[in-house]
Amino acid sequence: MTFCTAVNCIDGRVQLPVIEFLTDRFGVDYVDMITEPGVNRILAERTDPGGIDSILARIDISVTAHNSSAVAVVGHHDCKGNPVDESQQTIDTLAAVKYLREQCARYKDVRVIGLWVDGNGTVSEITTDQ
Ligand SMILES: [Zn+2]
């Protein structure tokens, strides 16, 4: 069994699209799901240390217990937890990716990418390769 990790919004509309995209993108069997409302903004702003620690602890379990090979941070259309337009969502997701790449540097070969899910549930990758 192989795994990757999604750091995703709680929004039910984006769960299956993200799982389907990531299983194909990384050729894995399963996607461990870490959810918070508007999680890309949480990781971009980092105003809540307890919330950040909780997310990092869950990523650590996914990487160490499941040998997750990649972490994806998700922003999406019509997000109630981060109610800003697509351009600001992209800025937040890229900042979250930068932060998680720094945090995940202690793991061997764990890639971090950013995703955007539009109003039709179409997923696109918004980061360049590490
Ligand atoms: Zn959301």
For residue 61, what is the domain's CATH number?
3.40.1050.10
Q: What is the pLDDT of residue 27?
A: 98
pLDDT in tens, 83-124: 999 999 999 999 999 999 999 999 989 999 999 999 999 999
Record the pTM: 0.96
| Structure tokens given for 75 | 């922003």
105 touches 64 (CB < 8 A)? no
**Residue 115: inside a domain:** yes
**Residue 82: inside a domain:** yes
Find all residues with CB under 8 Å of 51, minimum gap 6, and list them: 36, 42
**Residue 42: inside a domain:** yes
**Residue 107: inside a domain:** yes
Q: Which residue has the tokens 């379990």?
A: 61
In degrees, rounded to 5, the angle at the alpha carbon of residue 85 between the alpha carbons of residues 117 and 57 is 60
pLDDT > 70: what percent of the chain?
Answer: 98
Query: What's the average model confidence in pLDDT over 5-22?
Result: 98
pLDDT beyond 70 at 72? yes
Determine the distance separating the centroid of ligand 1 and the alpha carbon of 123, expressed in angstroms. Answer: 14
Determine the distance separating the centroid of ligand 1 and the alpha carbon of 84, expressed in angstroms. Answer: 10
Determine the distance separating the centroid of ligand 1 and the alpha carbon of 96, expressed in angstroms. Answer: 15
41-76: b or e for each residue (b if 16 or more CB lie within 10 Å)?
A: bbbbeeeeeeebeebbebbeebbeebebbbbbbbbb
Q: Is 29 exposed, middle or buried (0-12, 13-18, 19+ CB in 10 A)?
A: exposed
Q: What is the pLDDT of residue 2?
A: 98
**Residue 130: inside a domain:** no
- Residue-averaged pLDDT of the chain: 97
**Residue 14: inside a domain:** yes
**Residue 94: inside a domain:** yes
Q: What is the pLDDT of residue 128?
A: 81
What residue numbers bound the domain in which 109 lies? 3-125
Query: What's the average model confidence in pLDDT over 65-70?
Result: 98
Tell me how many domains the chain contains: 1
71 touches 7 (CB < 8 A)? yes
Determine the distance separating the centroid of ligand 1 and the alpha carbon of 110, expressed in angstroms. Answer: 25
Q: Is 124 helix (H, G, I), strand (E, B) or coil?
A: strand
**Residue 87: inside a domain:** yes
pLDDT beyond 80 at 130? no
Query: What's the average model confidence in pLDDT over 41-49?
Result: 97
Determine the distance separating the centroid of ligand 1 and the alpha carbon of 104, expressed in angstroms. Answer: 23
Neighbours of 106 (CB within 10 A): 9
